[in-house]
């Protein structure tokens, strides 16, 4: 099944008020590519201003707490993200799994909280270099997926999976097309096993050093339904050629 591609930028801990001009440039240019869903996940403190600056364009968060409210200093609930104007959130990014020691169970709870509240959720999984070199990348990522997937989708397809090999994030290194294809096919099979037909409708994004120079090839790989882009999403000049490549590739409608 050809799914509409989603190209989401992850600004991580980058972006000040002055960078709202870049958000606007990306949102404006994205209107030229209606065949692609484009989103920017900005730092939490910028969400409200970004959402106001670009009405109708998808602004997201980079994390969400699994509880609705409570004594959780520094955390942000799904309702707060929505209230600020976000329509999606990333959960389980490897930088959080590592630095914040987030477990699969926590990521699952965050995904469920986001979906229940009405956010689209991009759930990240990915293996370390040691695991890739040991030849157990697929089984490791599938185990991570099993532990992190929400219990049910409630008949919706607002969940996307981002396969992000840790060793490819911010390094300029990218797996071979064959390895990406193998992983995405395995993830697709597992999603269908878990969610039936709904699993066939979930987008599987690739993330890790996606650039204008490699986007065409990556979007041509079966079961690659978009990208989660870090460094190359900070400037419209780098990000928009990636969006354009997604619009040109097979699978868009
Ligand atoms: C990311 O952090 O989600 C990411 C894919 O980063 P980069 O594109 O910079 O590798």
Average pLDDT, the chain: 96
Task: Please tell me which residue in 66, 93, 184, 244 is annotated as part of the active site.
Answer: 93
Give residue 252's pLDDT band: very low, low, confident or very high (50, 70, 90). very low
Respond yes or no: is residue 164 known to be catalytic. Answer: yes
Question: Distance, CA 228 to ligand 1 centroid (Å)?
Answer: 7
- pLDDT, residue 251, reads 46
Q: How far is the CA of 241 from the centre of ligand 1 (A)?
A: 16
Is the Cβ atom of 208 under 6 angstroms away from ligand 1? yes
DSSP the chain: -PPPEEEEEE-TT---GGGHHHHHHHHHHHTT-TTEEEEEE--HHHHHHHHHHSTTSEEEES---SSSSSS-TT---HHHHHHHT--EEEE--HHHHHHT---HHHHHHHHHHHHHHT-EEEEEE---HHHHHTT-HHHHHHHHHHHHS-S--TT---EEEEE--GGGTTTS----HHHHHHHHHHHHHHHHHHHTHHHHTSEEEEESS--HHHHHHHHTSTT--EEEESGGGSSHHHHHHHHHHHHHSTT--
Instruction: Give yes or no for residue 229 CB within 6 A of ligand 1.
Output: yes
Give the pLDDT mean for 122-133: 98
pLDDT over 60 (residue 230): yes
Q: pLDDT digit string (tens) for 94-110?
A: 999 999 999 999 999 99
pLDDT value of residue 155? 80
pLDDT of amino acid 24? 98
Q: What is the mean pLDDT of residues 40-50?
A: 98
pLDDT digits (tens, 9 = 90+) for 159-185: 999 999 999 999 999 999 999 999 999
pLDDT in the model for residue 186:
98
- Active site annotation includes 93: yes
Model pLDDT, residue 154:
82
Q: What is the mean pLDDT of residues 76-88?
A: 98
How far apart are the CA of 232 and the centre of ligand 1, in A? 8
pLDDT digits (tens, 9 = 90+) for 237-251: 999 999 999 998 654
Q: For position 208, what pLDDT does the model report?
A: 98
* pLDDT at res. 249: 67
Name the closest-CA residue to atom 4, ligand 1. Answer: 230
pLDDT at site 2: 87
Whether 8 is in the pocket of ligand 1, judged by its Cβ within 6 Å, is no
Where is average pLDDT lowest: 73-77, 138-142, 151-155? 151-155
């Amino acid at each position: 099944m050809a799914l509409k591609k989603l190209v989401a930028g992850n600004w991580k801990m980058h972006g000040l008020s002055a960078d709202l001009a870049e958000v606007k440039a990306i949102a404006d240019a994205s209107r030229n590519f209606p065949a692609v869903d484009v989103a920017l996940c900005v730092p939490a403190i910028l969400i409200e201003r970004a959402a106001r600056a670009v009405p109708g364009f998808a602004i997201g968060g980079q994390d969400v707490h699994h509880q609705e409210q409570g004594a959780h200093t520094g955390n942000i609930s799904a309702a707060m993200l929505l209230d600020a104007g976000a329509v999606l959130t990333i959960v389980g990014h490897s930088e959080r799994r590592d630095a914040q020691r987030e477990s699969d169970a926590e990521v699952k709870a965050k995904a469920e909280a986001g979906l229940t509240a009405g956010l689209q959720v991009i759930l990240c999984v990915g293996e370390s270099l040691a695991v890739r070199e040991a030849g157990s990348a697929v089984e490791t990522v599938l185990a991570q997926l099993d532990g992190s997937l929400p219990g049910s989708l409630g008949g919706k397809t607002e969940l996307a999976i981002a396969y992000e090999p840790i060793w490819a994030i911010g390094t300029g290194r990218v797996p071979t097309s064959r390895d990406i294809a193998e992983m995405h096919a395995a993830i697709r099979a597992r999603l269908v096993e878990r969610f039936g037909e709904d699993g066939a409708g979930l987008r599987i994004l690739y993330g890790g050093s996606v650039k204008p120079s490699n986007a065409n090839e990556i979007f041509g790989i079966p079961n690659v339904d978009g990208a989660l882009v870090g460094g190359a999403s900070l400037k419209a000049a780098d990000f928009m050629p990636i969006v354009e490549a997604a619009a040109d590739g097979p699978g868009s409608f």
